[in-house]
Amino acid sequence: MGLPLRKSKVLPPPQCPLSMCMDLLRGAWAPNVIWYLRGGARRFGELRHDIPRISARVLSQRLRELEARGMIMRRLLDTSPPSAEYELTELGHELLPALDAIVKVGTKLRHDAAPKRRLAA
Amino acid sequence: MGLPLRKSKVLPPPQCPLSMCMDLLRGAWAPNVIWYLRGGARRFGELRHDIPRISARVLSQRLRELEARGMIMRRLLDTSPPSAEYELTELGHELLPALDAIVKVGTKLRHDAAPKRRLAA
DNA sequence: CAGGATCCTAATCGATACTG
DNA sequence: CAGTATCGATTAGGATCCTG
């Protein structure tokens, strides 16, 4: 017989907001997309240029996901050839403090403790 | 010929701290592990109980990862049967503000916009 | 109780080619 | 330019069994 389980000292996040928000940031690229939209509206091709190693397919997927969840707005421009522009919604702007907090921790991480994988930016 | 690319108004996060920190929180369970360690040291079995749907294998993986990157400390207890306890390091505590910011956004998300997947808590 | 070994499924991503 | 379709590689995760 081992030790008895102690009661947790922290409450589970009600209705799982932690997971709900992490779902938004899931994947290698979603945080970068949001990061580069903080400066204002940005076209598809501009985002591809901002985030060089993202593929068109994944960028398209992330943009549609973020749009479906009300984080960004898509605007079709009446140009030739046609182009599209994406912009953070009011709700989407609320992600920025979270992103800032994450970046702030990131700057304190020791580089030698980083994983040996591709970086996402 | 379409529109010219506009210069991005935001700087890329230097040395990619955004991705470095997101790597720590990547996956469905790492944020939950950190969340439940904020109340103090916690044993392996207690964490399994805190996070009911995590498997022992994945919990073990996440704990080893977080330990390798200096976010948590592992302590072997001299009990019978032997048990192990995990605790946030000083560096690990710096993740908490980021987690709080994420949760804060999560509480504002519309539930109907959530994905149709398993929740991670 | 803690956690490694094995096997398998599902999700994510990159590359390439193609459409309106 | 702004995407979509298809394919294959990588990875996270679950289930089960097993050991100290």
Looking at residue A2, its pLDDT comes to 77
Nearest nucleotide relative to B61: CA against C1': C3
Cβ contact (<8 Å) for B25 and A102?
yes
**pLDDT interval class at B85 (50, 70, 90):** very high
CATH number belonging to domain B26-120: 1.10.10.10
Q: Does B50 touch chain A (CB under 8 A)?
A: yes
What local confidence, expressed as pLDDT, does residue A117 receive? 46
Write down the mean pLDDT value for chain A.
Answer: 87
Contact B24, B30 (CB under 8 A): yes
All structural domains of chain B with their residue ranges: 26-120
| pLDDT (0 to 100) of residue B17 | 84
Q: Which nucleotide is nearest to B74 (CA to C1')?
A: C2
Distance CA B89, CA B72 (A): 5
Model confidence pLDDT, tens digit, residues B90-117? 999 999 999 999 998 888 886 655 554 4
On the question of pLDDT at B1 being above 80, the answer is no
pTM (2 d.p.): 0.86
pLDDT recorded at residue B12: 82
pLDDT greater at residue A50 or residue A2: A50
- The pLDDT > 90 percentage for chain A reads 64
Q: What is the pLDDT of residue A113?
A: 59
Which sign does the torsion angle of CA A66, A29, A61, A54 carry? positive
- pLDDT score for B2: 78
Task: Note if the bond before A81 is cis, omega within 30 degrees.
Answer: yes
Over residues A95-108, the pLDDT tens digits come to 999 999 999 988 88
User: What was the pLDDT predicted at B114?
Assistant: 59
pLDDT score, position B58: 96
Confidence at residue B14, expressed as pLDDT on a 0 to 100 scale: 61
Q: Is A101 exposed, middle or buried (0-12, 13-18, 19+ CB in 10 A)?
A: buried
Alpha-carbon gap, residue B61 to A16, rounded angstroms: 22
pLDDT greater at residue B119 or residue B88: B88
Nearest-Cα residue of chain B relative to residue A97: B101
Q: Which residues pair with A74 in a beta bridge?
A: A86
Residue reference for tokens 């929180």: B25
Q: What is the pLDDT of residues B7-37, one digit of tens each?
A: 999 988 766 789 889 999 988 999 999 999 9
Average pLDDT for A12-39: 88
Q: What is the pLDDT of residues B37-82, one digit of tens each?
A: 999 999 999 999 999 999 999 999 999 999 999 999 999 999 888 8
Query: Which chain B positions have a beta carbon within 8 Å of A7's beta carbon?
Result: none
Chain B residues within 8 A of A2 when measuring between CB atoms = 45, 79-81, 83
Instruction: At B34, list the tokens.
Output: 């950190």
Is A16 a residue whose pLDDT tops 60?
yes
Count Cβ–Cβ pairs < 8 Å, chain A vs chain B: 216
State residue A74's pLDDT score.
96
